[in-house]
Structure 1
Amino acid sequence: FVKLLRFFRLYNAVYVVVLAISNVLSRRKLLRFYSQFVNEGDLCFDIGANIGNRIGVFLKLGATVVAVEPQNSCMRKLLKKYGNNNKVFLVHKALGSREGKGNLILSNSHTVSSMSKEWIDCVRDSDMFFTSTSAFQWHENVTVPVTTLDKLIRKYGSPAVCKIDVEGFEYQVIKGLSQPAEMISFEFTPTPKLINRSIESIKHLSAIGNVQFNYSFGESMILA
């Protein structure tokens, strides 16, 4: 089928249409999920904003967004799209357990750049992305400024939702929080080696206050 499309020079057109439909369906799914937690006038943190697919969802729900992203290439896109939006505060930093500097390992795919070498090694040794890991290359180390969740809350206020997706560095980000937050969504990696980082995150959050936990797999946006 793909060969036929390419023969008739329709592949690119069909691909664009399919991708557009997929993006619309994904956005609807995200809106349904986050509408459970976000109300008009709320504040949301998007930690690991990448190119901003959550930012648009939070804005649609009427929230103000603090978006944190250390990658230069991603921040350029965020500035182009949201730089003049007075409901979006762009923070060109990484988050961690304390303020300072950190090492960001850049990939040829901006979605898998990470500050966790342990996570990168796990990706290389697994099929968690259901694709050949040879498609991903980590080729450069850069030093980036690091701040904490506590510092963000002190500057912008406490969020109704704090989404954390930082490719295996979630525990370090959560360690930078010393006060209760209304709702935190953080990515977990279901491998024997890395699931312990999620358990440590749960323990840390439990020590801060009275909490409840739930989970969803992948981008299903369906709670168990």
Structure 2
Amino acid sequence: MDSAQALGLARSLAIYYGRPWRQRALGRFYRGLLAPGDLAFDIGAHVGNRSRALLAAGARVVALEPNPLLFRFLKRSLRGNGVTLLQSAVGAAMGSLELAVSSRHPTVSSLAPGWIAAVGSSDGFRHVRWDRRIMVEVTTLDRLVATYGRPQFVKIDVEGMEAAILAGLSQPLPLIAFEYLVPAIDLAIACIARLEGLGSYRFNHVDGEGQQFARGDWVDGRAMRLALRSLPASARHGDLYARLEAS
């Protein structure tokens, strides 16, 4: 690990673990969504804060992270905690893809060149440099479901690959969450359309790194698209949740 990578890992640890009360609040948030023993997929596990919160909520977790540095950290820090760790990305099809890595800001490493072009000049990203390229293994949500079972919850945080991941899913799943960025809001809109093609979903969102829903009600795709398009640039990012309605 060179100095830039060490700095990047330290920065991520400070961001996601430097405020332990936020980690506890995230666990409480997930307990409101999941029952003990539910299966959850953590796609783009990074340094494992979401996996830890899911485990704290009593879930069984399959966590995926393609970045070798971060995967080694996860093996050291999460081993023995009842989580299945996979060094893999997720996409539309099985195979391999090139991961653009930011050594100093590993949380925004991406498999989606178009996403880097879309957000690279926006506030919050102008200082980021993607300085390394590595080939990583890619699986699909369908393959994960076939191997590990149907999850109650899928969390996706993959810097521009959200729509590709949903393209690799052929059945509706009960609860799916993915990050949205205001500078690349069309990607979130495409994800809503994909989910509407799979099943009857309603939507809510969490602003930034918060641990509560921004809305008191769950709305249909049309209303959520309007809400996302009306977000101010200062909103920057958040997580969009899609809940499958009972048939």
Give the TM bin, normalised by the shorter chain: 0.7 to 0.9
- Number of residue pairs the alignment of both structures matches: 200
TM-score, structure 2 length as denominator?
0.76
CA contact (8 A) 2:111 2:161 kept: yes
Report the equivalent of 2:186: 196
- Residues 47 and 165 of structure 1 are in contact (CA less than 8 Å); yes or no, is this contact kept in structure 2? yes
Structure 2: 5+ residue stretches without partners = 1-13, 216-247
CA contact (8 A) 1:95 1:146 kept: yes
- Aligned-partner Cα distance in 2 for 1:70–1:32: 28
**In the alignment, is residue 30 of structure 1 matched against residue 30 of structure 2?**
no
Partner Cα separation in structure 2 for residue 21 and residue 62 of structure 1: 20
- Give the Cα–Cα distance (whole angstroms) in 1 for the partners of residues 18 and 202 of structure 2: 32
Question: Which residue identity is paired with 1:95?
Answer: V
Offset at 1:84? Answer: 3.0
How much is the aligned-residue C-alpha RMSD, in angstroms? 1.8
Q: Whole-Å Cα distance in 2 between the matches of residues 59 and 39 of structure 1? A: 11
Q: Structure 1, unaligned stretches of length 5 or more?
A: 1-17
Q: CA deviation at 1:22?
A: 4.9
Confirm whether residue 81 of structure 1 aligns to residue 71 of structure 2.
no
CA distance in 2, matches of 1:116, 1:187: 14
For residue 212 of structure 1, report the CA deviation from its aligned partner: 0.8
- Deviation of 1:29 after TM superposition, in Å, equals 2.2
Identity among equivalent positions (%) equals 39
User: Is the aligned partner of 1:146 residue 2:155?
Assistant: no
**Shift, 1:219, TM fit:** 0.9
Aligned residue for 2:110, secondary structure, equals: coil
Give the deviation of 1:119 after TM superposition.
1.9
Cα offset, 1:148, TM superposition: 0.4
Structure holding more strand per residue: 2
Output aligned runs, 1:24-173, within 5 Å.
Answer: 24-85=20-81, 87-108=82-103, 109-127=105-123, 129=124, 133-134=126-127, 136-173=128-165
Whether the aligned pair in 2 keeps the contact of 1:97 and 1:173 (CA below 8 Å) is yes
CA distance, structure 2, for counterparts of residue 19 and residue 165 of structure 1: 15
The structural deviation recorded for 1:121 is: 2.2
Q: Which amino acid aligns with 2:108?
A: V
Which aligned segments of 4 or more residues in structure 1 are displaced greater than 3 angstroms? 18-22
* Shift, 1:210, TM fit: 1.2
